[in-house]
Amino acid sequence: MTPLTESENALATALQLAVEREELRLAYQPKLSLRTGCVGSVEALARWDRGEGEPVEPSLFIPIAERAGIIDALTGWALRSALRQWVAWRDQGVTIGIAVNVSAVSLRDLEFPDFLQRLCHLEGVPPDQVTVELTESATQHVIRLLDTLTRFRIKGIKVALDDFGTGFSSLLQLRQLPFTELKIDQHFIRDLATAEDLRLIVKSVIDLAHALGLIAVAEGVEDAETLKLLGELGCDEVQGFFIAKPMAPGDLVPWMLETAARWPEICTRSSRLAS
Ligand code: C2E
Ligand code: MG
Ligand code: MG
């Protein structure tokens, strides 16, 4: 890894402090199942509102956390917070799966699946409610990843390959590694309604996911036309601003209730809440 510049170093120091002081927060974005019409799970996304200034984007601070050796602390914080939030929602009558982004750097540690299992036990969350979202990384060795991902699966924890189509992953790796979910990167989804070639690619990726026994999730759905097309292409789940932007945890249950009223064909879990 390239050494940090002076300004990156300053950011890393501030980030380390923010992680230690638990000043980061998680926003949650629903994944909607096109099969059941239900919101089956939510993805936790880290947010850092640095002091009075502009929020720092995860695409900036996550790579710095990886390079500065802070990522394990950040991952630990994100997992603990997300698991506690799962319990808080369950206590309100909403049982909803939770997905957490985990850097491939953290997965180099073969003990990581045990750590996550212990955390689930400690917080009282069934491991099958948890999905680890893994972004492709060129530095990752497949054999090592195979061991770690297999350990997750043995414990019932699900594993998603995030941003599919943008990174290094080969079809061979898709076959070798025990993923449960394939998330098609938003670059393929954005222009789906206008580009015939993208529709062919996305259809092939969905079929490929199904042939390998994975569920296909489309990221970055921003309009009704794209949502409809993805349904026709056989996509299992969708996520994007058209369904919901990442939101504060307290907004999720009200959003579900409001969505159920506005969009009755979507059987959000809130129907149970309302009854
Ligand atoms: P990701 O996991 O692929 O998350 C999806 C990103 O796309 C999120 O950006 C989300 O806000 C954004 N997004 C969702 N729907 C739409 C849409 O319809 N249109 C557009 N234009 N964007 C949409 P965000 O939150 O800025 O996160 C960026 C990336 O940072 C994430 O990509 C993930 O790789 C990483 N990240 C975020 N939180 C964490 C974390 O806690 N740990 C780790 N290791 N990585 C994280
Ligand atoms: Mg993700
Ligand atoms: Mg993604």
Report which DSSP code applies to 70: -
Rounded to two decimals, what is the model's pTM? 0.95
Position 273 scores a pLDDT of: 40
* Alpha-carbon separation of residue 36 from 70, 107, 217 (angstroms): 39, 32, 14
Position 24 scores a pLDDT of: 96
Domains of the chain from N-terminus onward: 6-270 (3.20.20.450)
Minimal-distance CA residue to ligand 1 atom 37: 45
**Cα 100 to ligand 1 centre (Å):** 11
> How many whole angstroms separate alpha carbon 266 and alpha carbon 64?
39
The whole-angstrom distance between residue 49's C-alpha and the CA centroid of its chain comes to 20
Minimal-distance CA residue to ligand 1 atom 43: 101
Residue type, 188: F
> How many whole angstroms separate alpha carbon 151 and alpha carbon 178?
10
Position 266 scores a pLDDT of: 62
- For ligand 1, pick from 31, 45, 49, 130 the residue to mutate: most ligand atoms within 8 Å of CB: 45
Report which DSSP code applies to 2: P
Ligand 1: list residues with CB < 6 Å: 29, 45-46, 57-59, 62, 78, 101-103, 133, 135, 162-163, 186, 219-222, 240-241, 246
Position 173 scores a pLDDT of: 77
Given a cut of 50, the residues of the chain with pLDDT beneath it are: 138-139, 269-275
* Alpha-carbon separation of residue 203 from 124, 148, 256 (angstroms): 39, 30, 29
Position 271 scores a pLDDT of: 39
Angle at 22 between CA 129 and CA 31, to 5 degrees: 30
